[in-house]
Amino acid sequence: MEYTFQFGPLLNYLQQFVSGLWLTLGLSFVGIFGGIALGIVCATVSTSSFVLPRLAVRIYVETMRNTPLLVQIFVIFFGLPNIGIRLSPLTSVFIALVLNNGGYVAEIVRGGIQATHRSQVEAAESLGLTYFQTLRFVILPPALEKVFTPVVSQCVLLMLSTSLVSAIGVEDLTGAAMIASSETFRTMEVYLIIAVVYVLLNFIFRAVLNMAGLMIFTRSRRRLLGRV
């Protein structure tokens, strides 16, 4: 009944772990930035005056937010071939992650846009700004700055949920761990190692994204540094 931890046999799998880590980073990167871009577009549409696109975005956002990512991956990877769309596991998970994150980000950003006062939009209109100029210079910058913290939290959660891609055999960090554990039977060692890696990634992602926020949003930078 004694269990001796042996990390030695896992050294042979270092290569797989490293390439799994890169894939996790790649998936997170695409999921985060693709999701943010999609989310901003959807949030803009859902606060516009076009009824049909608004309804479509609403349905999309609610579907993403009210179904599990795992089921979304299954529908895309296992389900779509039924109607003739055959995607590789990797393509499927890229699509699923971007769509999923896009839904969450859209809802967060929409809150930020709606918090912007109407008078600002009216002022922009009276200055003769076009719709896109108003969006680009008046509505989006303060809205995005306001919701930056919740968006970062959402993106870190997305990074953690990239581990679900291992369920359809994609060899990300968790996928590599599954293979290593089934071949060496050092299950606990394997999962303890990747648990530590994920916790570290969590801190790194949070720090990097917050730093990026300080670089993008001049106003919060000024507030932090005491009005430089």
Partner 1 sequence: MRTFGSPEFLFIVYALRWTLTLTVIAFIGGGIMGIVLALLRIARSRVLRAVTTFYMQVIQGLPLLVLLFLCYYAPSLVGLEIAALTAAAVALTINSSAFLGAIWESALRAIPKAQWESADALALTPYKTLRFVIAPQAIRLALPSTVGFLVQIIKQTSLASIIGFIEITRAGQLVSNATFEPLKAFLSVAALYFAVCFPLTQLSLWLERRTARGGART
Residues making contact with partner 1 (CB under 8 A): 1, 3, 62-63, 65-72, 74-75, 78-83, 160-164, 166-167, 174, 177, 187-188, 191-192, 194-195, 198-199, 201-203
Q: Nearest approach, Cβ of 5 to partner 1 (angstroms)? A: 9
Q: By C-beta, is 99 or 124 nearer to partner 1?
A: 99
Residue 58: alpha-carbon gap to chain centroid: 19
CA distance 153 to 150: 5
Q: Nearest approach, Cβ of 190 to partner 1 (angstroms)? A: 9
DSSP string, 90-128: HHHHHHHHHHHHHHHHHHHHHHHHHHS-HHHHHHHHHTT
Q: By C-beta, is 5 or 132 nearer to partner 1?
A: 5
Q: Nearest approach, Cβ of 222 to partner 1 (angstroms)? A: 26
CA distance 160 to 24: 9
Q: Nearest approach, Cβ of 87 to partner 1 (angstroms)? A: 13
CA distance 177 to 13: 9
Q: By C-beta, is 90 or 194 nearer to partner 1?
A: 194
